[in-house]
Structure 1
């Protein structure tokens, strides 16, 4: 595991049988167990749009507390060499 406390990032090498074909994945934490979950990023959002209107959305979904997020003042490219196209 790689840990950079200055940038507050970690990197984990996955065993071959758990590797993703995609270059990006979603990362989320299970609110009950605290487990970190990696999942493939879908190629399109069509499946999500198909769900629209099929089930009622709870009144407290994405309430003000959920939308309140701290600002991110860091440069997203600070550790990348963008002038050479290496992201």
Structure 2
């Protein structure tokens, strides 16, 4: 299927709106899988996400994974995560 070039902007905008809601869930699943893999290798996974460095999925670049872990280790992200978990319950 092919569409006219004049529709590119609208199609791109729609794609962005659709995917924006899926990325947080995807990252949560990736993080949970890394934790599960780390635990299966007897790695203690607690508050420090840097223990997940060696358990990245193959489709994420190493540098990107390290940057994600840095973000997950910030007090701001941890507080937001804690609030979200509390709200889910």
Alignment TM-score > 0.5, same fold = no
Please, what TM-score do these two structures have when normalized by structure 2? 0.24
TM-score scaled by length of structure 1: 0.24
Instruction: Judging by fraction of residues, say which structure has more helix.
Output: 2
Query: More relative contact order in 1 or in 2 (CA 8 Å, sep 6+)?
Result: 2
